[in-house]
Structure formats: C-alpha cells, structure tokens
C-alpha cells in the first residue's frame, strides 16, 4: 500500500460515515466505475428503449445514463438522502426517482421491461427476496440483471485493473476500499437465485478484469408458471 493510501482510506471511511450519497456520487464519476457500468449495460440483451427500474440506484448516475440512452427510467432507493441527491442532479434528464424498499418493491407485477441493480445483491440482507421481487415487477419477456463484486476480487486484481485502466491516486484508493470492504458473491450463487426465481436464459459476464460480474436472466412465464 502506498504510504498516502492509509490516510486516503481514512478519508474514504470518513466520507462514507458523513455522506454516503456524496461518496457514491464521487465514485460514479471515476473512470473504472464508469468503464465497468458501460461494460455491463453495453452487454444487455435488450436495448434500453423501454421502461427500466434501477433498484438501489444510490445518487442516480446509472439511472441517468440509461435514461440518456433512450429508456424511461425509475430509480429506487431506500435512502431519502440518496433520492434527494438523485432528484437534484438528474431529474432534469427525465429519470424519475422514488424512495422504497428493494425487498418489497412498491410496484405491481409486470410493471417494467427490465429491472437492474448495481452493487445491491451483495448488500441486502435477503438477496433471494431481492431477485424474487425484481422478477415479480418485470414483464413477461423482460429481463433482470444484477452487477456485484466476485469472490476472486483480491488485491492482485486491484493492481491489474490499476495497470490496465491507468487508475492512480485517490481513485485507486477508492478501488482498493471497494475490494477490501465489499461483500462478494460467486456468480454461481447469484445464478442459483435467478433459477429459484423462475428466470430463464441466465447468462454470466465477467466485468472489470474479473473483479465483478453480472448475471442476467429473462422472465419467460408469469408467477405461477402461466
Ligand atoms: C453500494 S450502493 C450502490 C449504489 C448504486 N447502485 C451504484 O452502483 O452506485 C447500494 C445502494 O443500495 C441502497 N439499498 C440498500 N439496501 C436497500 C434496500 N433494501 N432497498 C432499497 N435500496 C437499498 C443503499 O441505500 C445504496 O444507495
């Protein structure tokens, strides 16, 4: 670890304690984060032209970029501070933002053509409930997709990403914090949750040099199997 990195990690921790919305908004602007999200959304098996729900949207950067790509986006987060910042920064672009619980989504069955969540399935207490809820509010024929850090994300991967994407200074420290502090999941575990929720056409894609992955599935039948 660079000598300055210890102090920088303290700064990241302090920002996390003082204002998670500002920290996540800062992270949303970092090159490695944008590149990971572009890799993910660029590989969606659907065009972002319909209605999309971004669950656990944080301060709204992903919602805004999907809206700008042509979708009609609703961002949802349980934190009123996240939603307030998202509305302040991104409502002008057309995306809507709502406060609510991802484990009891305040929408009816089949409301959205796609339901996505970045860095949420590894955070919530009931990941199986999250995937079941995301599936419920997806229309038959629509898609569910999640992004999360994987078990293989270690310090060597931080070095590799830093080299490949030229991530330096404070941005690299934030990447190191994500590696050190995040809960990680295996794609197999998440794929299993997709199967249990009744999703089909399940695909796994490695992202950010294998530090993260996405799992995407399609809802081909309604709940109850019709
Ligand atoms: C790690 S942040 C990711 C934010 C954003 N998706 C991103 O990639 O920058 C996780 C977000 O999920 C939200 N969250 C956690 N549990 C939630 C729940 N049960 N319902 C809704 N939002 C939740 C948090 O408030 C936070 O904004």
Instruction: Summarize pLDDT for 143-183 with one digit per residue, the tens.
Output: 999 999 999 999 999 999 999 998 888 899 999 999 999 99
**What pLDDT is stored for residue 225 in this prediction?**
54
Q: Tens digits of per-residue pLDDT, 106-131?
A: 999 999 999 999 999 999 999 999 99
Residue 154 CA to ligand 1 center (angstroms) comes to 23
User: Which pLDDT score, from 0 to 100, does residue 223 have?
Assistant: 63
Atom of ligand 1 nearest to the CA of 124: 16
Residue 224: what pLDDT? 58
Supply the Cα-derived Rg of the chain in whole angstroms: 17
Count of domains for the chain: 1
Choose one of 15, 27, 56 to mutate for the ligand 1 pocket test, by most ligand atoms within 8 angstroms of C-beta. 56
- Tokens, residue 54: 């971004």
Structural domain including 83 reads: 3-218
Which residue has the least CA distance to atom 25 on ligand 1? Answer: 79
Domain annotation covers residue 36? yes
CA of 58 to the centre of ligand 1 (A): 5
Contacts of 95 (CB under 8 A, 6+ apart): 60, 63, 64, 66, 67, 73, 74, 75, 86
Q: Structure pTM? A: 0.95
Q: Residue 48 has what pLDDT?
A: 73
Kindly give the parts of the chain with pLDDT less than 70. 223-226
* Pick from 27, 12, 108, 98: nearest CA to 57: 98
- pLDDT of 49 reads 79
**Atom 26 of ligand 1 has which residue's CA nearest to it?**
58
**Looking at residue 213, what DSSP letter applies?**
E
Work out the number of other CB atoms within 10 angstroms of the CB of residue 129: 16
Residue 134 pLDDT: 98
Residue 174: CATH number of its domain:
3.40.50.150
Residue 225 in domain: no
C-beta separation of 74 from 52 below 8 A: yes
Q: Are 122 and 151 in contact (CB under 8 A)?
A: no
Ligand 1 contacts (CB < 6 A) are: 24, 28, 56-58, 77-79, 82, 101-103, 118-120, 123-124
176 CA distance to ligand 1 centroid (A)? 20
- Tell me what pLDDT residue 222 has: 76
Specify if 208 maps to a domain.
yes
β partners of residue 117: 146
């Amino acid at each position: 670890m660079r000598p300055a990195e210890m102090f920088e990690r303290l700064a990241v921790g302090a920002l996390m304690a003082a204002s998670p919305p500002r920290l996540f908004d800062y992270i949303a602007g970092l090159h490695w984060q944008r590149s990971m999200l572009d890799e993910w959304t660029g590989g969606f098996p659907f065009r972002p032209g319909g209605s999309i729900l971004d669950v656990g949207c944080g301060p709204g950067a992903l919602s805004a970029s999907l809206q700008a790509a042509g979708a009609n986006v609703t961002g949802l987060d349980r934190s009123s501070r996240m939603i307030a910042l998202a509305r302040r920064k991104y409502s002008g672009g057309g995306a809507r933002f709502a406060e609510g619980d991802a484990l009891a989504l305040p929408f009816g069955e089949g409301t959205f053509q796609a339901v996505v969540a970045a860095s949420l399935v590894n955070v919530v207490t009931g990941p199986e409930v999250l995937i079941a809820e995301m599936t419920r509010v997806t229309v038959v024929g629509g898609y569910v997709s999640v992004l999360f850090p994987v078990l293989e994300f270690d310090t060597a991967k931080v070095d590799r990403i830093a080299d490949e994407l030229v991530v330096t200074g404070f941005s690299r420290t934030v990447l190191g914090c994500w590696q050190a502090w995040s809960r990680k999941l295996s794609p197999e575990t998440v794929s299993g949750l997709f199967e249990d929720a009744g999703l089909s056409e399940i695909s796994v894609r490695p992202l950010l040099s294998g530090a993260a992955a996405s799992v995407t599935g399609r809802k081909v039948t309604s709940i109850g199997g019709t």
